[in-house]
Amino acid sequence: MRFPFALSVKIASHIIKHKLRRTPKFAMVLQLEPLHTCNLTCTGCGRIREYSTSLKDVMSLEDCLAAANECDAPMVSICGGEPLIYPKIEELVEGLLRQDRIVYICTNGVFMRKKMKEYLAAIYSPKMETVLDRLLAEKLISEKDAETIRQGKRDPRPVIQPTQWLYWNVHIDGLEYTHDLIVEREGVFKECVEAIKMAKRLGFQVATNTTVYKETNVAEIEQMFAFFSSRGVDGHTISPGYDYDAAKKDMIRRLGRQPEDFFLTRDMTKQKFANILDWGRRFPIFGTPVYQEFLAGQRELTCTAWAIPTRNIAGWKAPCYLMTDGHYKGYQEMLEKVDWEKYGVVDGVARDPRCENCMVHCGYDPSGALGTNYQRGDHWKNFAYNFGPKPKTATEGRAVNAFNGFSIGKGHLAEAKAAIKSADNGNGAPHVNTYCGSGDTSQRDELLAKIAARNGA
Ligand code: SF4
Ligand code: SF4
């Protein structure tokens, strides 16, 4: 199956339960941001900017667990910032699993191996030497790591363990050259690949999480799916980037250009996702075929951002993961006080100009599952997709030249950064960061344009 049976049943039961009760609005996935601190400074990351005054703040474990309890979403995506920096990440994962939720840890991958070594230390016994031998042979751990693991774990804290209810959801936006450029650190793609390999060796489930931007080369995304499929990755989430209002304001001020010059518009999104239904057949892409049809421009959907609420240090963020018109103390309070009719695009008309180009996963994927804009056969289509067989491993992925950057000496960041610095008009504008999944591509456009110019492309 595309998704483990028990998980599909859990999600389907949740929807059926609320449909029978006629609950008008309910949560499907909680985007939980226990902190906004990150170890990376990706091009186009806005969490760091939007919450720049509270980067050091973290939600308490109790608040995190209470938020999940209150909205009662069957799935919780722990994001951030980088969630593996959250001091109580293990307790949080354990607590959410104890609440019978499906947990995604949305990570940039850099600290994954560290967490898995702690897991190995916690379960170490001499019988595990063959596992350590294999990890050593594949250079996924060092001799020093193996020694530390053999000493066992000394503190009583829990560890992150493999279970069918848990996914590592690793942020990957392309093959090595592109991904390292986007995260502004060479070697991150390679680390992600090694962490994913180690996770699969240890029995974890792993998904990748990709945002498509204006300049994304879709042929590369297809290669990326094939590459990770051949590495045993269990699923992929993919979403277009977002036309972000705060980023627009910054771009107008900083670059003196019009936002329309930069963003992925709806028409461009449909072009980028023209083949998504084919990708869904070939690769284990998560979500619904109804949302995929929407992305491919074959139908309209109405935004259901309330179904993927975001809770962070400031409260329940409304109306959605991307846009902030307010924070509320409770999920129910947010549902009641927000005028949801003000948002989204209906029949091609944007109710809010900021929604005009949005087709993002967190606004529209639940719409596909919940049957808004229902067309005959949709429920069966979604059922067949999620309960049907998982696509076969894409063996062609073994031939993909994924390590096409830093690993072959094609480092690019120093040059790109120098180019950007020289392009800065000296106005002292701060580094702009939007967030995981945002569509502020202005900086990356500059980087790519500068590199192309230097290469004479
Ligand atoms: S369409 Fe929905 S998800 Fe997109 S920006 Fe508007 S409210 Fe947010
Ligand atoms: S995009 Fe994600 S990984 Fe990158 S800096 Fe932002 S929070 Fe960190």
- DSSP assignment of 323-355 equals -EEEEESSHHHHHHHS-GGGSSEETTEESSGGG
Tokens of 398: 């073994």
Taking the CA of residue 352 as reference, the ligand 1 atom at the shortest distance is 6
Report the nearest-CA residue for atom 2 of ligand 2: 436
Residue 86 CB burial class (10 angstroms; 0-12, 13-18, ≥19): buried
| Pocket lined around ligand 2, Cβ cut-off 6 Å | 38, 40-42, 45, 47, 80-82, 108, 171, 183, 435-436
Q: Which ligand is nearest to the CA of 341?
A: 1
Amino acid at 356: E
Do 149 and 132 touch, CB atoms closer than 8 A? Answer: yes
Could you identify the atom of ligand 1 that is nearest to the CA of residue 355?
Answer: 6
Q: What is the pLDDT of residue 446?
A: 64
User: Strand 29-32 and strand 235-240: pairing?
Assistant: unpaired
pTM above threshold 0.85? yes
Give the number of the ligand closest to the Cα of residue 245. 1
Check pocket membership of 75 for ligand 1, CB cut-off 6 A: no
Which residue is closest in CA terms to ligand 1's atom 4? 358
User: What's the pLDDT at 428?
Assistant: 34
Shortest-distance atom of ligand 1 to CA 319: 7
Q: What separation in Å is there between the alpha carbon of 122 and the centre of ligand 2?
A: 29
Task: Retrieve residue 214's tokens.
Answer: 């204006």
Task: For residue 257, report the distance from its CA to the centre of ligand 1, in Å.
Answer: 24
pLDDT tens for residues 168-210?
999 999 999 999 988 889 999 999 999 999 999 999 999 999 9
Cα 43 to middle of ligand 2, angstroms = 8
Strands 235-240 and 315-319 turn out to be: unpaired
- Which atom of ligand 2 approaches the CA of 183 most closely? 4
**Which protein residue has the closest C-alpha to ligand 1 atom 8?**
320
**What is the rounded distance in angstroms from the CA atom of residue 56 to the CA atom of residue 37?**
7
Asked if residue 277 lies in contact with residue 293, where contact means CB atoms within 8 angstroms, the answer is: yes
- Residue 301: what are its φ and ψ, rounded to 5°? -135, 160
Q: Whose CA is nearest to atom 1 of ligand 2?
A: 436
Phi and psi for 206 in degrees, rounded to 5?
-135, 135
Mapping DSSP to helix (H, G, I), strand (E, B) and coil, where does residue 159 land?
coil
CB of 246 shorter than 6 A to ligand 1? no
Query: What is the distance in A from the centroid of ligand 1 to the CA of 244?
Result: 10
Query: Can you give the pLDDT at residue 443?
Result: 56
Rg of the Cα atoms in the chain: 21
Q: Is 343 in the pocket of ligand 1 (CB under 6 A)?
A: yes
Q: 405-422: per-residue pLDDT in tens?
A: 989 988 877 776 666 666
Atom in ligand 1 nearest the alpha carbon of residue 362: 3
To test the pocket of ligand 2, the residue of 42, 111, 322 to mutate (highest count of ligand atoms within 8 Å of its CB) is 42
Below-50 pLDDT ranges, the chain: 424-435, 437-440, 457
